[in-house]
Amino acid sequence: MASLLLLLLLAAAAAWVWGRQEWRARAVERGFAAQGVRGPRRGGWLRGCNEEPFNLNSYYFGNRQKPYISFCIKSYKVVKEKGGPFLYWLGPQPRICISDYDLVKQILSNKYGHFVKNDAHPVILSMIGKGLLLVEGTDWVRHHRVLTPAFAMDKLKMMTRTMASCAECLIKEWEDQTSTRKSIEIEVEFSKQFQDLTADIICRTAFGSSSKEGKEIFHAQRQLLAIVITTILNVQLPGFKYLPTKRNRCKWTLEKKLKNTLMQIIQSRIASKGNGYGDDLLGVMLDACFSTEQGEKRDELVLTMDEIIDECKTFFFAGHETTSHLLTWTMFLLSVYPEWQDRLRVEVLRECGKEKPNADMLSKLKEMTMVLLETLRLYPPVISMFRKPITDMQLGRLHLPRGTAVVIPIPMLHRDKEVWGDDANEFNPLRFENGVIKAAKIPHALLGFSIGPRSCIGQNFAMLEAKSVMAMILQKFSFTLSPSYVHAPADLITLQPKFGLPMLLRALDA
């Protein structure tokens, strides 16, 4: 009898939860429908729109990652304004997709903190920490003030020697392979090698650490990333993250390993302080942690040790992940468009000769810059940005209730023909011939590094690194796509080739 009563109570509780969620979902749909905002049929409050039968051939690679967005763009032309917002569901969470540049600018350029980032998945927090990428409000202002000096251009220019030295080691391996094999070509999986290379570069330039420690951090974050990919769409049940499941235990072990490795790097720097902590990213943060002014801590320029660890996580992941994929997609496009590969090689040999490139040489590579920017347009490292208003907000004609998740689909915006021209779907670096501002019909059209006060603090670092590596490859090799390559861009937190980038590499002096 007691068991039956317990089952009845559980059934009643489940029915109440379902009813409450269903009532809430319908209220949200009615509220937005009254504003002319609609979307695809909701498949239940747990499933959202993810199980709708969408046409996966409708939109280049964007449909592969967000088929429901592609479907909505094509199917919900009922909105009068081009690029009007629409509603879709990810599990029980409603999301408003914004595909209008004016509204995007209002969101990203808001200086008053009215739009903040969505709450991060617990495993993402473990992987990248709550650093500059995720903090909000006065904490973001404090972190940004501390970190900005580390990314001054004069300091970045000094890092080009380290960037080139790291790339030189990898290129030497390729040269050795081409010289020892009978074939004049070798096949190289560039996606994986670029990830290793950029991890080594960020470790040496930002943290002054060894390759061994960098690899430990890299592998821990990659394993955490694998957990993120398998759980990102799961409904987050309250308290589930504290249960000792196999996946949670693995996450805790990796998180502890990541923190301990970073603490070793930090403690080593503190122990060898000498005349200062150094002028790289870690040195700037440690100086902010321990600095005093007239015996008192400068509260506006202070980071705690936990915050430093989180920033190390953030910049180690962001500093190698985005640049590695920028390099990967650049190599892909230069293989598909060999005339541009030849143009860049001529430019590199003209400005750098056969020498290791320095900052002054890299600043003269105008066509290289154009190609990298066009790559960011067609293959942005992050394909969606997420925000939510902290209070009820009016966004254009749209009223957004507090906490409504807003999605900015970058690939769709980057391929808007009214903004980028009729060739928006084509690779045309010449559109950036007069700079980013004049590349499209509006000055803020390129969102690869975001725009506004929260734009990527490391974008100059990433561009300098990408130029260094590409210049050194072009000096030594020509390359084409391997017949085994399968074009399948995948949204694995960052946009990357699902099956890697196998390429055929040929030494120029062969």
How far apart CA 395 and CA 391 sit, in angstroms, is 12
Residue partners of 397: CB distance under 8 A and separation at least 6:
35, 81
DSSP string, 408-473: EEHHHHHT-HHHH-TTTTS--GGGGTT-STTSSSSTT---TT--STTS-TTHHHHHHHHHHHHHHH
Instruction: Look at the block and give the residue holding tokens 């209070």.
Output: 391
* Residues 501 and 190 sit within 8 Å (Cβ to Cβ): yes
CA distance 492 to 228: 9
- Asked whether residue 352 is marked as a ligand-binding residue, the answer is no
Closest CA to 460 of 160, 82, 255: 160
What CA–CA distance (Å, rounded) separates 103 from 84?
A: 10
Sign for the CA dihedral angle at 93, 96, 97, 101 comes to negative
Q: How far apart are CA 485 and CA 503, in angstroms?
A: 8
Please give the Cα distance from 208 to 83 (Å, whole number): 46
Annotated binding-site residue numbers for heme: 456
Annotated binding-site residue numbers: 456
